[in-house]
Structure 1
Amino acid sequence: MNFFEQPLSTGWAFKDRDDDAPDAWMPVTAVPSTVQQDLIANRKLLEDPYIGLNELKAHWVNEKSWIYRTELKRPEIPIGTKVDLVFDGLDTFASVTLNGQNILTSSNMFIGHRVDVTKLLLESDGPHILEIEFDCAQLKAQEVRSKYPDHRWDGFNGDMARLAVRKAQYHWGWDWGPVIMTAGIWRDVRLEVYSARVAELWPQTQLEPNHKTATVTVTAEIDAAISGNYTASFCLSLRGEEIVRQNFSVKVSSSKSVEAKLQINNPELWWPHGYGSQPLYDMSVSVSGNAKELHKMSKKFGIRSAEVIQQPDKHGKSFFFRINGEDIFCGGSCWIPADNLLPSISQERYRKWIDLMVKGGQTMVRVWGGGIYEDKAFYEACDESGLLVWQDFMFACGNYPVWPEFLESIQQEVTYNVCRLRHHPSIVLYVGNNEDYQVQEQANLTYNYDDKDPESWLKTDFPARYIYEKLLPEAMAKLSPSTFYHPGSPWGDGKVTSDPTIGDIHQWNVWHGTQEKYQIFDTLGGRFNSEFGMEAFPHMATIEYFIENESEKFPQSQVMDFHNKADGHERRLATYLVENLRMATDLETYIYLTQVVQAETMMFGYRGWRRQWGNDRQCGGALLWQINDCWPTISWAIIDYFLRPKPAYYTVRRVMGPLAIGVRREHHDWSVVHARPPTTSKYEVWVASSGREVLHGTVELRFLSVASGQDLRPPSVYDVTITPNGTTNMVSDGIIDHLTQPEAHVLAARLWVDGHVVARDADWPQPFKYLDFSDRGLEVKAHNGTTPGQQILTISARRPVKCLVFEERENVHLSDSALDIMPGDEQTVTVSGFSESHSPLKYRYLGQ
């Protein structure tokens, strides 16, 4: 018999386990789902927890247990076949019965399950009742915690009982997300009928240093219902054209591994976007019996080499990525789950997120360790678009326990997910945890890096070290040996996690910590900056979604504060606003001002750290916290829940362009000198390139009066030979004498290559609150583009304009925003998806 699959997506009902009323059972629209989604769909038993204060009304769901039930239609089961019931994900404490018999007990959300139900289905004609009871994860976690009073339950965010449960940790609430404890069939469930099947397929690639040859070692696992002789056929193809095929005769009793080695001459290499194309080879394995194909599995993979370069140098020890022998500055973002109700994230929505990151010039995304091992659609989109993936294991901000059953569950989790993900060329790094070593430091837990005895680690008050420095690296060595493993983020060879000379760091002394001025962000970096951020409000349309009452539409309303989960956010936002900008109380202006601060903060960080990539790789990359939100909220995200980019998205994109110019005067801390102006200021000009070729260009530097828009002195013009994949320093010792040139002025730089302006930058006098931005003489003219739905905006100004931001509308896309406009330098923005019936896009700028 050929392989047959029967999805079990419909026909389900659910109820509160403790509700015995005759009408307790309610219909389920479809699975995958969560109990919250199903309650919302049933007679409004639950209001949308994302609106207003409704999260509080949904907390009762967190404390309940639930039962899901369906009646299976027994498939045809020919002699010599078996039937497996397959669960790709159960959330979280699940007990499964079929016809009243327990067939599965699970306590790990991250593990898939396969159960042979052939005998049970053949015992009777039916009905065959499948039930899944989901025990309350919140109460269960507290119960488990109480059994281990000697463990140090230390950590950040949420109830520390979460550490005892293998469930997405952000479900317990985080400093950007609500407390929504989901339960349910959160990934696909199905019946599979087969006589033999390909159970696993793993293509490993080995690329020769000269890139002329690649060896693909393919391992296939064959499962059979009955012992017999089978043929395993391996086929490698690219874009539908077969390259090589190998057949093997195998005798299978229950399962059998088969390995083939295939050689590819002159392989097409997979590159990060911006460095080359992303060809994906297709590896398929079919299993046949009696000359009949029984099952086939295919996986797409890329051929590339990926290294993390850690070598001693004058700055300490490097930490950067090298792909196919090419050093890559990894500018990008950290990713959290895109929803609290995970099944609601469609494949299309994943694609939109990845597309935004790629269009935003981002090279890497970090899948954060407090969420989930993402859906295959996420990684497939990264593969196809060339977005590198830094993959955390799912441990975050805590001191995890290590009793034997828990370690066994973790071992199964790692095996299941690494095997699921290891063929993706986008994944270039696995990391043991997020900030657990910081918990160790702050809680003063025992950590002696020189002690290399793993058994002794289990006896300390920081036993989780055993997971990160023994269990995980040993699993990686077996399951995906060619992928680099890093014990934690941040982490650097056992040094203090804030050490800027080694490993990666999370730099939170802007916003958190010492709340440094964002203008000096680049001086606070390390060898790889894997977290940093600044909060900003989302756009007005997003706020109007979660605020129902007009009376709540002001910056400090209760609902507004409720949708900002960050501790002390009022003080921190106020500090950065009041230090830099003239304050406002109307909501739309306040929203805009927070966005200006975020955009400037991200620009200062990225611009300086990309410069430090330089030619000696002082900084290997920067991943901002965070790209996205899991609900409509106020957070560090630079794109909100509804995929609306904030201004910071555009400032990051410009700084991360293939060519970027930077101009900066030295920081003058007005708060320390009590607003006394400087007498002189040093300034610097440089060009950053990610290209592979030497380019020749021209740099123009203007000194423009903020008040009049006039050039205060003739522009400086420099011919520049641009260093490939590095930094070209143009001016490092420029001096501005404020006694002879006291007028506040902008340093405006442009880079010309082949007669075109390819990059701009502007350095403004700080702080903005001292500047008069009235009467800018801004003009925005709209013209029809060359394609339907396209509009071209031409923008000019008589005086310098700061942070011109255009309205974000659904399905309308901007080529640029958050612009600085200088007199005599007209800029254009292309708007796509614009209809003639649309009203003109609104916009605003600083001081408007």
Structure 2
Amino acid sequence: MFYKFFKYFLVFLCLSACCENESNQYEQTIDEHWTFKNVEDVGWLPATVPGSVHTDLITNKIIEDPFYRINEDTLQWIDKKDWEYRKTFTIPNNILEKEHVQLHFEGLDTYANIYLNDSLVLKANNMFLGWQVPCKPLLKEGVNVLRIVLESPIKIGLKKRERLGYELPNAVNDQSEKGGVGKKQVAVFSRKPGYHFGWDWGPRLVTSGIWKQVKVVAWDTAKLTDVFIHQKKLDETEASLIAEIEIKASKDFQADIEILIDSTRKINKEITLKKGVNNLEIPITIHSPELWWTNGLGNQKLYTIETIIKENNTIIDAVSKRVGLRTIEVIQKKDDLGKSFYFELNGAPVFMKGANYIPQDVFLNRVSKADYERIIKAAVESNFNMIRVWGGGIYEKDIFYDLCDAYGILVWQDFMFACAMYPGNDAFLDNVKKEAEYNVKRLRQHPSIALWCGDNEILTAWNNWGWIDQVTKSQGEAVKNRIWKAYEDVFHDILPNTVNKYDRDRLYWSSSPSSGFGTLDSLTAGDYHYWKVWSNKEPFSKYNEVIPRFMSEYGFQSFPEFESVKKYTEEQDWDIYSEVMKSHQRSSVGNENIEYYMLQNYKKPKDFESFLYVGQLLQAKGITTAIEAHRRNMPYCMGSLYWQFNDCWPAASWSSMDYYGNWKALQYGVKEAFKPTSVIPFQKGDSLEVYVVSDELKNQNAILSLKALDFNGKVLFNEEKVISIKSNSSTLYFSEDISNIVKKKLLKKSLIHIELIGEENTEIDDNVFYFTEPKDLKLTNPNVSFNCIKKDDTTFEITMNSNILAKNVCLRSDVKGRFSQNFKDILPAKNYKILFYSEGKDITIDAFKNSLKIMSLFDSF
């Protein structure tokens, strides 16, 4: 805590010194007292910046909540209008005397014409870029007026589509018909998030706005325009780094460069700066470096390296970077079965555990720092070590990557292209080149960035989804070739060359899924997306058969919990086939598929609330089956990233956490399935096999205990064995014919409880195995009892037990907070301790206990 305070104190001192001296830096954020209007209107309304047109319309009560019931349908007019934002501001008089004054726009959505005092200074056309505009000649003493006219992305998109002269194939995630423009999809023509135009888990709400901060920045003499701490060599004894520094100077002069490492070590260098852009390299050596590790494998040491320019001992500019020292490689070596694909961190192979991440809201300004902290902490608690930032969303805000750095979550970073072919004209390609350079340079310092991936599913779609034939038959061979050339220009030229130039030590992976650069996906090489469970109604058991080298996408849907559904529905909507529930389900086969799989695995739920509960159990059952299969098959398979972690609105989807941040059964399930050391039972034919999987980097000794029990707790089989768990491995430790464990007539009313006991009798992991599907289990009504104590101001401990098996016990509370475990099987005569983390401090034990609701699978039918 002191370290963090001290770092910010140093930065404060630097900035204070700058503000006191006329020759130094000045920065003013312009974020208050904006107004906005439809350009066709006369009256102005209050606006929020950063923000969006939709959220400003909501705040001013012009429109209703777009997420409530089917309000979305009535709001499609918004994206066809042009909107104007206005702000008057003053800056201190002495700032006008500075040599350079700029307006910085960190994010504009998307087609923005910027006027300063009625002079056009910028025409922005890319939501993923930051913009810097020299403005000194146009500024004046006193009041200045800044206007931003946001042109309709739909109207511009339609013009670009018409000018292109041919059709681009896409996966029809762009819900253009809902938007009132027929089958004229326009998402690919704008460098803006694809999911804003709709997806099979999201609404169509095409935003405009000023989505990041606006600043006035002024400086004299020189400015640090880029600092990159490039790691050249790393071993146990020494880290060799190069500070690659870009300085823009307004004159020739002698300067001092000072580099501080964790505020304790200083490097000084005298240099001569020439007027214009100067590039220099300064070597840095750190002895006995502390390495950066992923969650679960070690600490996340981040060195603070500050670069300071001085003239005559006066600070001109300073930049601070947080640097994690680690090596990361994607190992692709030929073997007897194909080619490996795994991440090696600091020389150790690491099985990647995590999920695909989408933006947390359609309206990005509503995602707070607390929201980012909550979701990354959920990833950490769920034993993730990787998140894939998917290509139909955004290059996330800096805070996202800062948190991944701090908590040890690696990022598979897609460029923002997904499920469609894109234009190839010069203006589009030039825009993409600027976008790629800007974001690679912005994010490359983060140790959490594991690789750069060109696109999501485009290579697969072009070759396997019928697009080649579709284009050739309808538009001819020449158009087909032109579309493919555009693909190669972006994904085989611009993007790899950008990564190679600005972040040369990281892998560029051209498309996900694929087995190599420009090569189609395969189970024996590269990464893989598997969707036949869900799309083709293959059974969950197929997850045990389809094992790739790295599974970067697979998934199964569920609904949010009942309390979440209540927030966007009315009682009349409480049927999965009601108009509202279908509207909040964007997969064309979604609700039907959930019901189909449910009846294959579970008894028909008795009511709507029970259906939501069982649907979550179903999702957890499917995905944890896949996770266990992937981990069981390491090192052949070395990654499992399910689809998807979160939601951008309240809906049925593949998420493990709903839009409101509530953990579904799946999130609790993956927390268990991704434990560093896991015991995994698996039925192979007539035999029961038990594997132990370890991500640990050292061996450990344990006791493996197996007990077969009937649902009343009677022991039918008992075996213990001392085992040595190999580091970073999956090992089979038990195999026995099921008939030697439990008699056939007892299979529907018995289970096997497997425990892994470590030193001092501590439980490393446990798992429960059933011999049949949940619908065939002979469950009876359990008597679940519990007691509560208050551990501290925000934490309650619940002790639970049951007289007989209580399957999938779900705890709910009206108190805002979260349980440490949920949806657990409570075995007879065994005590379970579960924590509840309250978001409030003034909750009494009685109030909390009275708020608790308990439901088990038996209660659902």
Tell me the TM-score normalized by structure 2. Answer: 0.91
Query: Where does residue 171 of structure 2 map in the other structure?
Result: 155
What does residue range 394-793 of structure 1 map to in structure 2 within 5 Å?
A: 394-445=416-467, 459=482, 461=484, 463-493=486-516, 497-512=520-535, 514-547=536-569, 549-613=570-634, 617-666=635-684, 681-706=686-711, 708-712=712-716, 714-736=717-739, 740-744=743-747, 745-754=750-759, 755-779=761-785, 781-793=786-798
Query: Where does residue 198 of structure 1 map in the other structure?
Result: 224
Distance in 2, matches of 1:61 and 1:100, equals 25
Q: Which moved more, 1:822-831 or 1:416-425?
A: 822-831
Matching residue within 797, 804, 823 for 1:799: 804
Q: CA deviation at 1:72?
A: 3.0
Matching residue within 59, 74, 81 for 2:99: 81
8 Å Cα contact 2:499-2:508 kept in structure 1: yes
Change (3 A) 1:730 1:212: same
Query: Where does residue 364 of structure 2 map in the other structure?
Result: 342
8 Å Cα contact 1:88-1:111 kept in structure 2: yes
Alignment of 1:167 with 2:172, yes or no, is: no
8 Å Cα contact 1:336-1:628 kept in structure 2: yes
Distance in 1, matches of 2:771 and 2:803, equals 18
Query: Where does residue 452 of structure 1 map in the other structure?
Result: none
Distance in 2, matches of 1:400 and 1:546, equals 35
Alignment of 1:294 with 2:316, yes or no, is: yes
Change (3 A) 1:329 1:415: same
Alignment of 1:71 with 2:78, yes or no, is: no
Distance in 1, matches of 2:138 and 2:794, equals 58
Cα deviation digits, residues 795-821 of structure 1 (max 9, x gap):
223333321222165642322112122
Change (3 A) 1:650 1:809: farther
Q: CA deviation at 1:456?
A: 13
Q: How many residues align?
A: 809
Matching residue within 343, 357, 362 for 1:321: 343
Matching residue within 205, 229, 251 for 1:227: 251
Query: Where does residue 675 of structure 1 map in the other structure?
Result: none
Aligned sequence identity (%): 29
Q: Which moved more, 1:307-316 or 1:375-384?
A: 307-316
Query: Where does residue 116 of structure 1 map in the other structure?
Result: 134
Distance in 1, matches of 2:407 and 2:765, equals 24
Change (3 A) 1:78 1:140: closer
Query: Where does residue 33 of structure 1 map in the other structure?
Result: 51
Alignment of 1:830 with 2:847, yes or no, is: no
Letter in 1 for 2:492: E
Distance in 2, matches of 1:736 and 1:499, equals 38
Tell me the TM-score normalized by structure 1. Answer: 0.92
Distance in 2, matches of 1:469 and 1:130, equals 40
8 Å Cα contact 1:446-1:462 kept in structure 2: no
Change (3 A) 1:711 1:498: farther
Distance in 2, matches of 1:420 and 1:303, equals 18
8 Å Cα contact 2:29-2:214 kept in structure 1: yes
Matching residue within 252, 263, 268 for 2:274: 252
Q: Which moved more, 1:199-208 or 1:654-663?
A: 199-208
Distance in 2, matches of 1:794 and 1:252, equals 71
Change (3 A) 1:569 1:155: closer
Distance in 2, matches of 1:413 and 1:810, equals 44
Structure (1/2) with the larger helix percentage: 2
Q: CA deviation at 1:130?
A: 1.5
Matching residue within 50, 58, 65 for 1:48: 65
8 Å Cα contact 2:28-2:215 kept in structure 1: yes
8 Å Cα contact 2:109-2:209 kept in structure 1: yes
8 Å Cα contact 1:699-1:718 kept in structure 2: yes
Alignment of 1:812 with 2:830, yes or no, is: no
Change (3 A) 1:52 1:715: same
8 Å Cα contact 1:400-1:463 kept in structure 2: yes
Q: CA deviation at 1:483?
A: 1.1
Change (3 A) 1:406 1:384: same
Letter in 1 for 2:599: V
Distance in 2, matches of 1:702 and 1:205, equals 52
Distance in 1, matches of 2:358 and 2:647, equals 7
Q: Please list every run of 5 or more consecutive structure 2 residues that lacks an aligned counterpart in the other structure.
A: 1-22, 177-184, 470-477
Secondary structure of residue in 1 paired with 2:321: strand
8 Å Cα contact 2:509-2:516 kept in structure 1: no
Q: CA deviation at 1:472?
A: 0.8
Distance in 2, matches of 1:571 and 1:530, equals 25
Q: CA deviation at 1:785?
A: 4.3
Change (3 A) 1:460 1:542: closer
Alignment of 1:184 with 2:218, yes or no, is: no
8 Å Cα contact 1:445-1:461 kept in structure 2: no
Change (3 A) 1:9 1:229: same
8 Å Cα contact 1:207-1:303 kept in structure 2: no
Secondary structure of residue in 2 paired with 1:510: helix
8 Å Cα contact 1:230-1:288 kept in structure 2: no
Letter in 2 for 1:599: A
8 Å Cα contact 2:708-2:742 kept in structure 1: no
Cα deviation digits, residues 347-368 of structure 1 (max 9, x gap):
1110110001100111100000
Q: Which moved more, 1:325-334 or 1:495-504?
A: 495-504
Query: Where does residue 674 of structure 1 map in the other structure?
Result: none
Secondary structure of residue in 1 paired with 2:95: coil
Secondary structure of residue in 2 paired with 1:606: helix
Distance in 2, matches of 1:738 and 1:520, equals 26
Cα deviation digits, residues 744-776 of structure 1 (max 9, x gap):
221221111111222111121332112221123
Cα deviation digits, residues 212-258 of structure 1 (max 9, x gap):
2111111122123x3131524232323xx423322232323122222
Distance in 1, matches of 2:144 and 2:837, equals 53
Cα deviation digits, residues 578-613 of structure 1 (max 9, x gap):
111111252210110100101111210111111111
Secondary structure of residue in 2 paired with 1:97: strand
Distance in 1, matches of 2:313 and 2:171, equals 58
Q: Please list every run of 5 or more consecutive structure 1 residues that lacks an aligned counterpart in the other structure.
A: 448-454, 668-680
Q: CA deviation at 1:445?
A: 5.0
Letter in 1 for 2:617: V
Q: CA deviation at 1:344?
A: 1.0
Change (3 A) 1:815 1:261: same
Query: Where does residue 106 of structure 1 map in the other structure?
Result: 124
Letter in 1 for 2:190: V
Q: CA deviation at 1:457?
A: 10
Change (3 A) 1:733 1:473: farther
Secondary structure of residue in 2 paired with 1:284: strand
Distance in 1, matches of 2:361 and 2:290, equals 36
Change (3 A) 1:413 1:496: closer
CA RMSD of aligned residues (A): 2.1
Change (3 A) 1:795 1:125: closer
Q: CA deviation at 1:462?
A: 5.6
8 Å Cα contact 2:423-2:483 kept in structure 1: no
Letter in 2 for 1:601: G
Matching residue within 107, 119, 140 for 2:156: 140
Secondary structure of residue in 2 paired with 1:644: coil
Cα deviation digits, residues 637-692 of structure 1 (max 9, x gap):
1011111101111111111112111112237xxxxxxxxxxxxx211011111112
Secondary structure of residue in 2 paired with 1:748: strand
Change (3 A) 1:774 1:733: closer
Letter in 2 for 1:183: S
8 Å Cα contact 2:547-2:629 kept in structure 1: no
Query: Where does residue 856 of structure 2 map in the other structure?
Result: 845
Distance in 2, matches of 1:230 and 1:34, equals 46
8 Å Cα contact 1:7-1:189 kept in structure 2: yes
Q: Which moved more, 1:767-776 or 1:690-699?
A: 767-776
Distance in 1, matches of 2:613 and 2:256, equals 61
